[in-house]
Amino acid sequence: MGCKAEGAAQGFTLLGALVLLVFAIQMLLGAINAASGGNLDAVIDMLLAILLILIAILSVDACGYIHWKVAKSGTALAIFGFIAIVVVLRNLSFDIIGWLMNVGTLAGLMILIAGVLLIARS
């Protein structure tokens, strides 16, 4: 399963990270617009959007596609995917069907699956 699992994990991670980046940028723009109107909850949304952008970048690094800060690790990738799901949902829910109905949680689930693939490969 060696090379095929690694390529599939990188593909899942890249697609999930791209979707997560688009979701986070959309969330960031909405938060900036809401913050300009005086909404204090928008500051939390801005911080969560920045966190999602960092998670997407670090997950691409953890899958081994680029070599920047994080070594290639399936465990780190699975943790990044789970954190992305929790950040998008803003609570801890293990409803898999609910994860599939939201684009942000689907991207986090793809990153989580990529981490499980890399863990199973070793």
pTM for the model stands at 0.88
> What are the pLDDT digits (tens) for 52-107?
999 999 999 888 888 787 888 889 999 999 999 999 998 888 888 888 888 999 99
Q: Return the percent helix, strand and coil in the chain, to nearest 5.
A: 80, 0, 20
